[in-house]
Structure 1
């Protein structure tokens, strides 16, 4: 399936209004139909991605929410989401697409890098942030994603000069790019290609970060 069906958004809207087990169980066959359509779309997208990247795994997330530690006890998500994992130790980062009425978006990058990876990234920015700035200021990147997003520290991390010219990059704890879609775009015949083009525009950023995270400060590979 190469497009998103209006019935999928309609189902998610009705689920949002009736987020309880009785309603869901009554409409479970309908959910299964829409889930199958979404999985088919994600498989078509994986094929597109593999034409310009290496995708190791596709994970389509379950509709059921884990409410054990949440104040929100509604049992079901009101969106469909899929994560595309890049292959091999060389290729870091991944691609995410979420379909939700009025709130659809794609994203990619590094949501919660461990302390070793975060330090490695910051050290790279400290030495020379020219390349990352060229990537995130490139017209194609800006047109698709706007700016590099993510939570930042309020001050310089320990061991880094707060007066560094690129301290705003060094203070970042996350490195995320996103692109939102209106429903009319989600339902368009060329939505698959639009998503793929945005993911393709993400590649220079992911490849740059991959190189950082698989080499030391001298550029020597740290993986086999």
Structure 2
């Protein structure tokens, strides 16, 4: 019996080829269906297959990843360009909470955090931030990661959230509607080699205390 063909991600991870970055550089200039049709094989071989291999190699430790579709949802968007100008993959630890990796024209980056939260989840996160012990734990985790090159981001309110004093010592964290920490590898030569797998694994491990803090305090709805 002939064995079935290997699926995307079944090959060992060897890095993202230069062609992946070039593909997205060109797509930013010509984000059309005709360009995509002419270069779909480059996307499949240089972008999607390596990404699937990367996250498959991390699955035993972090869990199964979702490799995002390349198509944009343009139903309610003013920008009608059909394709995303990056390829991302996400491993969930809770609703919209977990580990992230992305390749695009500017190179490769990793991230962790919660990318959106329902009203009840956000309320629980803010309650934990406001709490002296739990809030200080989060501050320590963030400070440690920032000292290691991570950058804090996320959507924030312009004013203080309702029910919290503007003078609260952690008011800047309380203003977050989403909260992420990211690190860019840019065009470092190792992104084109198997070493990238070790870098992503090391950084995801390093940032796991942040993911765990959010998962422990946000709840599951």
TM range (shorter): 0.7 to 0.9
Unmatched runs of 5 consecutive residues or more in structure 1: 215-221
Q: Verify the 8 A CA contact 2:114 2:214 in the aligned structure 1.
A: no
- Give yes or no for the alignment of 1:76 onto 2:83: yes
User: Which of 179, 183, 202 is the aligned partner of 2:183?
Assistant: 179
Is contact 1:92-1:209 (8 Å) kept? no
Match of 1:204 in 2: 209
* Aligned mates of 1:72, 1:177 — CA distance in 2: 27
What SS does structure 2 have at the residue aligned with 1:144?
Answer: coil
Aligned partners of 2:96, 2:23: CA distance in 1, in Å? Answer: 35
RMSD: 2.5
Aligned residues: 205
Q: What is the CA–CA distance in structure 2 between the aligned matches of 1:145 and 1:39, rounded to whole Å?
A: 24
Question: What is the distance in 1 between the residues matched to 2:143 and 2:96?
Answer: 21
Change (3 A) 1:74 1:167: closer
Aligned match of 1:58 in 55, 61, 65?
A: 65
Q: Scaled by the length of structure 2, what TM-score is found?
A: 0.81
Do the aligned residues in 2 keep the contact of 1:95 with 1:199 (CA within 8 Å)? yes
Q: CA deviation at 1:109?
A: 0.8
Match of 1:217 in 2: none
Residue 37 of structure 2 corresponds to residue 32 of structure 1: no
In 2 relative to 1, CA 167–188 (structure 1 residues): closer, same or farther, beyond 3 Å? same
Query: In the alignment, does 2:115 pair up with 1:111?
Result: yes
After TM superposition, list the pairs within 5 Å mapping 1:1-224 onto structure 2: 1-34=13-46, 35-47=48-60, 50=61, 53=62, 55=63, 57-86=64-93, 93-128=97-132, 129-138=135-144, 140-146=145-151, 148-184=152-188, 185-214=190-219
TM score, norm. by length of structure 1: 0.80
